[in-house]
Structure 1
Amino acid sequence: MRRSARDTDESAAKVTRRGLFLGGSMAAVVAVLGARMRHMQVDQAEEFRLLAEDNRISIRLIPPARGLIHDRNGKLLAGNEQNYRVVISRDDAGNVEDVLNRLTGILPISEEDFERALKEARKRSPLPIIVSDRISWDDVSKVAINAPALPGVSPEVGLSRIYPRDFDFAHIIGYVGPVSDRDLAKLDEPDPLLQTPKFQIGKIGVETWMEDTLRGKAGNRRVEVNAVGRVMRELGRQEGVAGADIRLTIDADVQNFVQARLGDESAAAVVMDVQNGDILAIASAPSFDPNLFVRGISHADYNALTENDHRPLANKTVAGAYPPGSTFKMVTALAALEAGAITTSTTVYCPGHYEVGGRKFHCWRSSGHGKVSLDRALGESCDVFFYDIAMKVGIDKIAEMGRRLGLGERHDLPMSAITDGLMPNKAWKQERYKKEWVIGDTVNASIGQGYVLSSPLQLAVMTSRIASGRAVSPRLIHSIDGVAQPAPAGPSLGLDANLLNSVRQGMFAVCNSQRGTGYSARIDDKSMRLAGKSGTSQVRNISAAERASGVISNNDLPWIRRDHALFVGFAPFDAPRYAAAVVVEHGGGGSTVAGPIVRDALLRAMSDGLPPLSAYPASQRNRIDTQQRGLILRDAEGNLPESTRA
Structure 2
Amino acid sequence: MDRDTDRYRLLTRRAAVLGGLKLAGLSALVGRLYYLQVVESARFTMLAEENRISLRLVAPSRGTIVDRFGAPLAVNQQNYRVVVVSERTRNIQDTLDKISKIVPLTDGDRRRVMRELHRKRRFVPVTVRENLTWEQVATIEMNTPDLPGVAIEVGEIRHYPEAEATAHILGYVGAVSEAELNGDPVLSLPGFRIGKAGMEKYHEKALRGTAGTSQLEVNAVGRVIRELSRDEGQPGREVQLTIDIGLQKFVQQRLAQEVSASAVVMDVHTGGIYALCSHPSYDPNQFTMGISAELWEELLSNQATPLNNKAVAGQYPPGSTFKPVVALAALESGLISRNHSVFCPGHMDLGDHRFHCWKKGGHGTVDVVGALRHSCDVWFYDVSRRIGIDRIAEMANRFDMGQLTGLDLPHERPGLIPSIDWKKGALGKPWAQGETLIAAIGQGYVLSTPMQLVAMTARLANGGFAVKPHLTKQIKALSGEQTSWPPIGVKKENLDLVLRGLYEVTNAPNGTAYKSRITEPGYEMAGKTGSAQVRRITMAERSTGVKKNEDLPWRERDHALFISYAPVSSPRYACAVFVEHGGGGSTAAAPIARDILLECQKRDPGRAAVAESAPPPPPPGGTRG
Settle same-fold status: TM greater than 0.5: yes
Look up the match of 1:175.
172
Task: Answer with 473-482 or 345-354: which moved more.
Answer: 473-482
Look up the match of 1:624.
none
Q: Which amino acid aligns with 2:210?
A: K
2:342 equivalent to 1:378 = no
The structure 1 residue matched to 2:106, chosen from 106, 110, 114, is: 110
Look up the match of 1:73.
69
C-alpha contact 1:72 1:251 (8 A) present in aligned 2: yes
Deviations 1:430-461 (A, max 9, x none): 00000000111101100000000000000000
Which runs of structure 2 are paired with 1:504-583 in the superposition (5 Å)? Answer: 504-583=499-578
Secondary structure of residue in 2 paired with 1:607 = helix
Q: Structure 2 CA distance, aligned partners of 1:98 and 1:227?
A: 26
Q: Structure 2 CA distance, aligned partners of 1:271 and 1:588?
A: 22
Deviations 1:147-191 (A, max 9, x none): 8x43xx65321010000000110000011111112222xx2xx22
Q: What displacement does 1:415 show?
A: 2.1
Q: Structure 2 CA distance, aligned partners of 1:46 and 1:85?
A: 42
Task: Answer with 508-517 or 48-57: which moved more.
Answer: 48-57
Deviations 1:403-444 (A, max 9, x none): 101111202233232101101100000000000001111011
| CA pair 96-426 structure 1, distance change in 2 beyond 3 A | farther
| CA pair 356-304 structure 1, distance change in 2 beyond 3 A | same
The structure 2 residue matched to 1:451, chosen from 434, 445, 451, is: 445
Calculate the TM-score normalised by the size of structure 1: 0.81
Look up the match of 1:294.
288
The structure 1 residue matched to 2:603, chosen from 585, 599, 608, is: 608
Unaligned runs of 5+ in 2: 1-35, 606-625
Deviations 1:318-343 (A, max 9, x none): 00000000000011110010001212
Q: Structure 1 CA distance, aligned partners of 2:84 and 2:112?
A: 12
C-alpha contact 1:210 1:414 (8 A) present in aligned 2: no
Which runs of structure 2 are paired with 1:191-340 in the superposition (5 Å)? Answer: 191-224=184-217, 232-265=225-258, 266-340=260-334
Look up the match of 1:617.
none
Q: What displacement does 1:192 show?
A: 2.1
Q: What displacement does 1:61 show?
A: 2.3
Q: What displacement does 1:357 show?
A: 1.9
Instruction: Give RMSD over aligned pairs.
Output: 2.8
| CA pair 80-354 structure 1, distance change in 2 beyond 3 A | same
Q: What displacement does 1:143 show?
A: 7.9
Q: What displacement does 1:55 show?
A: 7.7
Task: Answer with 221-230 or 298-307: which moved more.
Answer: 221-230
Q: Structure 2 CA distance, aligned partners of 1:59 and 1:130?
A: 22
Which runs of structure 2 are paired with 1:341-380 in the superposition (5 Å)? Answer: 341-380=335-374
Q: State the identity as a percent.
A: 47
Q: Structure 1 CA distance, aligned partners of 2:119 and 2:547?
A: 63
Q: Structure 1 CA distance, aligned partners of 2:79 and 2:162?
A: 19
Q: Structure 2 CA distance, aligned partners of 1:138 and 1:212?
A: 37
Q: Structure 1 CA distance, aligned partners of 2:496 and 2:371?
A: 15
Q: Structure 1 CA distance, aligned partners of 2:536 and 2:119?
A: 57
Look up the match of 1:638.
none
Aligned length, in residue pairs:
559
Q: What displacement does 1:349 show?
A: 0.7
| CA pair 123-474 structure 1, distance change in 2 beyond 3 A | farther
Look up the match of 2:426.
432
C-alpha contact 1:88 1:128 (8 A) present in aligned 2: yes
C-alpha contact 1:130 1:197 (8 A) present in aligned 2: no
| CA pair 577-484 structure 1, distance change in 2 beyond 3 A | same
Q: What displacement does 1:104 show?
A: 4.1
Secondary structure of residue in 1 paired with 2:73 = strand
| CA pair 232-99 structure 1, distance change in 2 beyond 3 A | farther
Look up the match of 1:86.
82
Q: Structure 1 CA distance, aligned partners of 2:525 and 2:351?
A: 39
Deviations 1:175-210 (A, max 9, x none): 1111112222xx2xx222111112111110000111
Q: Structure 2 CA distance, aligned partners of 1:427 and 1:347?
A: 31
Look up the match of 1:130.
127
Q: What displacement does 1:221 show?
A: 1.5
Which runs of structure 2 are paired with 1:14-93 in the superposition (5 Å)? Answer: 57-87=53-83, 93=86
Secondary structure of residue in 2 paired with 1:272 = strand
